[in-house]
Amino acid sequence: GAVVSQHPSRVICKSGTSVKIECRSLDFQATTMFWYRQFPKKSLMLMATSNEGSKATYEQGVEKDKFLINHASLTLSTLTVTSAHPEDSSFYICSARDSRAGMHQPQHFGDGTRLSIL
Amino acid sequence: AQSVTQPDIHITVSEGASLELRCNYSYGATPYLFWYVQSPGQGLQLLLKYFSGDTLVQGIKGFEAEFKRSQSSFNLRKPSVHWSDAAEYFCAVGPNNNDMRFGAGTRLTVKP
């Protein structure tokens, strides 16, 4: 089945540093990937839609300069949290859809990244 | 704009008992509807989805859901719950597979 790999699974870093999270589709191509943020005991909030070879589409209220998204290939999207602060601590999850699959094929999710900013 | 409501934040059932998790949505047309399950510290696994056709949808792990247009609902059911079903369950709705909105989630606890 379709597998999405997310790395790292957990990261702890100091305030002010930048953190990069990778999302890879392992056995399919994905022209579109999605980045979600999940607060403790809360639902997933769509942050942005990542489009291969073009700029990401950000949801209202999400700072694009804070959360940099790059989708340089059909199998990799990265989310960089720039100058991270404690309020950026969260669980970040990516998902992807198989570009060659029919329109009814769902998103496949990675296992998430737990980001903790000290 | 679409929205989805999961009225129950937390449900506890005994192992072997039946389960129903509620999901109500607001959307102008027939949406794409999904149920996902999330174990602690993990990503989401798709249980089942509906976009057209038979309103009773069978999913993995013995789950099913029924789309009721008149009630704007897509409730998830399982006839006999197993201890391994304890997790967080999310209902999601969208106009397609891309633009999904998630409900707040229902945490399921299974008593021995």
Residue with tokens 């392992």: A26
Up-side HSE of residue A118: CA atoms within 13 Å toward CB? 4
Q: What is the pLDDT, as a whole number, of residue B14? A: 97
Residue that wins the pLDDT comparison between A105 and A82: A82
User: Which chain B residue shows the shortest CA-CA distance from A110?
Assistant: B43
DSSP state of A8: -
Report residue A1's pLDDT band, with 50, 70 and 90 as the boundaries.
low
Contact A112 B43 (CB under 8 A): yes
Name the residue facing A106 among B34, B41, B101 (closest C-beta).
Answer: B34
d(CA B96, CA A50): 16
Q: Measured on CA atoms in the order A114, A116, B4, B6, is the torsion positive or negative?
A: positive
Residue that wins the pLDDT comparison between A98 and A14: A14
Chain B touched by A115 (CB under 8 Å): no
Tens digits of residue pLDDT in A33-78: 999 999 877 888 999 999 888 899 999 999 999 999 999 899 999 9
d(CA A83, CA A87): 11
Tens digits of residue pLDDT in B18-65: 999 999 998 877 789 999 999 888 889 999 999 888 999 999 999 999
d(CA A20, CA A103): 30
Average pLDDT, chain B: 92
